Structure 1
Amino acid sequence: MEKPSLGSDHVFHLATHADRVDALRVLANALPGRQPVDMQLMLGAYEVALEGVSRWGLAEATREILKGSLAHGFMPSPPELRREVDKVMAPHVAARRREAEAARRYRWPQETKPRALPAPKGNPEAVARWRARREAEKAEAAVKAASSPVDRALFADREERLKRTSAEAVADFISRQGGRHSHSSESEKEADP
């Protein structure tokens, strides 16, 4: 049997009653064990222990037990069989959990917003209003995407700066740098007595 990729849905298909009985039949015929007093009670115990296991996990756990994964060579008890299934499924459960966490953590805010309603049908006025609103939303989104956001408080003189020549911009930058250096050198001189 080919090993599936971690977290794949194939691994999580639930085992049917027939799958569980087949696994028990294989284990009971291949491994020695005590003869149960009440066969129905034993089968009931295995059914409870194997509740909710996957078909692939049960098959792999059976294969691992037959290869000697248990510390003994006898028929596993119901809890031992369940532990083996859980051990085989642990990497797949962890991968699925990581995928769900990543999907939750890295979800874009737009994905949680409700989608736009489809255009109304029948009423021409409602359709025209919907189209006008939709076109306005598209235009607003296009303007927003084309222009980067500008904080007016930080860039109050933005329009003036855009009109400057490159030489004026360089001179302005140098003058501001010179002022910073002169202030810092003066404060250093004052600090050293």
Structure 2
Amino acid sequence: MEGSDIEMTLAGYRVALEGCPAWAIANAVRRFLQGKVPHQSKVFCPKPPELREAVDAVMAPVLRQIEDEKRRGRLREEAARFASPVVRTDGEKARAAQLYAEFCRKHAETASAGHISEPERATLDPEKLAMIPDAPTTFERLAWISRGGQHG
């Protein structure tokens, strides 16, 4: 090859591999030399875009892992923001207990009248309300956010 052709070829590879880490380039070249790159030519060297494709394929699992870790970090941050946004007052808890007891009473009446199918006839226990955690629902969190983090 003429000197200018070699320089142009090298420049093409530099542009194609711009921003790629050396380990990924070395692994992709190794895969080419071992004949492990799908659809590679056994006669000609890979063109710059073909080599870049092979490098991207080598980097793909690492990039996925990095993105997964970023996503997990965002989820941890979001969970920390909602750790305890709403504190229910004793009055709110008493009102919820009253509503649940009323629901249980009506459910029992409807069940005894035969208006509920067999799987739904399970007896509801008002005492189970005490077992419900005080964690706010998604809707309560959204309401809390819309109020600017204020109770009300």
Aligned residue in 1 for 2:91: 152
Deviation at 1:39, TM superposition (A): 1.3
State the TM-score, normalizing by the size of structure 1: 0.43
1:61 aligned onto 2:61: no
SS of the equivalent of 1:52 reads coil
Deviation at 1:185, TM superposition (A): 6.3
SS of the equivalent of 1:152 reads helix
Q: Which runs of 5+ in 2 are unaligned?
A: 116-152
Aligned residue in 1 for 2:11: 44
SS of the equivalent of 2:91 reads coil
Using a 3 Å threshold, how does the CA distance of structure 1 residues 179 and 92 change in structure 2: closer, same or farther? Answer: closer
Using a 3 Å threshold, how does the CA distance of structure 1 residues 178 and 85 change in structure 2: closer, same or farther? Answer: closer
Deviation at 1:106, TM superposition (A): 2.2
**Cα distance between partner residues in 2 of 1:42 and 1:92:** 29
Amino acid paired to 1:154? K
Aligned residue in 2 for 1:81: 51
State the number of aligned residues: 101
Aligned mate of 2:72, from 102, 119, 122: 102
SS of the equivalent of 1:75 reads coil
Q: Which runs of 5+ in 1 are unaligned?
A: 1-34, 111-143, 159-172
Using a 3 Å threshold, how does the CA distance of structure 1 residues 149 and 48 change in structure 2: closer, same or farther? Answer: same
Amino acid paired to 1:62? V
**Cα distance between partner residues in 2 of 1:109 and 1:185:** 42
Deviation at 1:150, TM superposition (A): 4.0
How do residues 167-186 of structure 1 correspond to structure 2 at under 5 angstroms?
A: 181=108, 183-184=109-110
Identity rate, percent: 30
Deviation at 1:154, TM superposition (A): 3.2
**Cα distance between partner residues in 1 of 2:106 and 2:55:** 73
SS of the equivalent of 2:92 reads coil
Using a 3 Å threshold, how does the CA distance of structure 1 residues 56 and 188 change in structure 2: closer, same or farther? Answer: same
| 1:133-175, Cα deviation, whole Å (9 max, x unpaired) | xxxxxxxxxxx9xxx854413326x9xxxxxxxxxxxxxx9xx
State the TM-score, normalizing by the size of structure 2: 0.53
Q: Quick check: which has more Rg, 1 or 2?
A: 1
